[in-house]
Amino acid sequence: MQKFLPTVARILLSQIFLAQVIALIIGFSNHPDGYQQYQASLGSMGLPGIFAPLIILINLAGGLSLFLGYKTKTFALIMAIYAVVLTLLLKLPVLQYLAIAGGLLMLHLNPNTACSIDRISSR
């Protein structure tokens, strides 16, 4: 059982980023001008709308890599830095995102989890 707890933690952390991408895609498909609204919302928070595709790409790539356990150590560190920077830029709830960053840093320090591509390729 204890062998799989880090895997569960890795998958749960990845869901934060993947769920955000899924919610954005659903929002874009439900509203004809959903993407423009998303860009405008970023602009109202002080971030140019040009960052919208970059945010979506980082969430998707980072979330998928954590979910699959691919380059876990690297992506956990990237996503931890990303969570802190995005929190500061968009004025998101600080404690929540710092907690997420903390979990990602723990994953960065302990990247070897069961059921991951990293584990399969290291054999």
Q: Which pair of tokens denotes residue 51?
A: 């960052």
**What residue ranges do the domains of the chain occupy?**
5-121
Three-state secondary structure call for residue 4: coil
Q: To which residue do tokens 């609204």 refer? A: 37
The model's pLDDT over 61-105, given as tens digits with 9 standing for 90+, comes to 999 999 999 999 999 999 999 999 999 988 889 999 999 999 999
- Higher-confidence residue of 73 and 3: namely 73
CA terminus-to-terminus distance, the chain: 22
Q: Is the pLDDT of residue 123 over 70?
A: no
Q: For position 62, what pLDDT does the model report? A: 97
Segment 34-70, tens digit of pLDDT: 999 999 988 888 888 889 999 999 999 999 999 999 9
CA separation for the pair 67, 117 (Å, rounded): 10
79 burial level (CB within 10 Å; 0-12, 13-18, 19+): buried
pTM score: 0.91
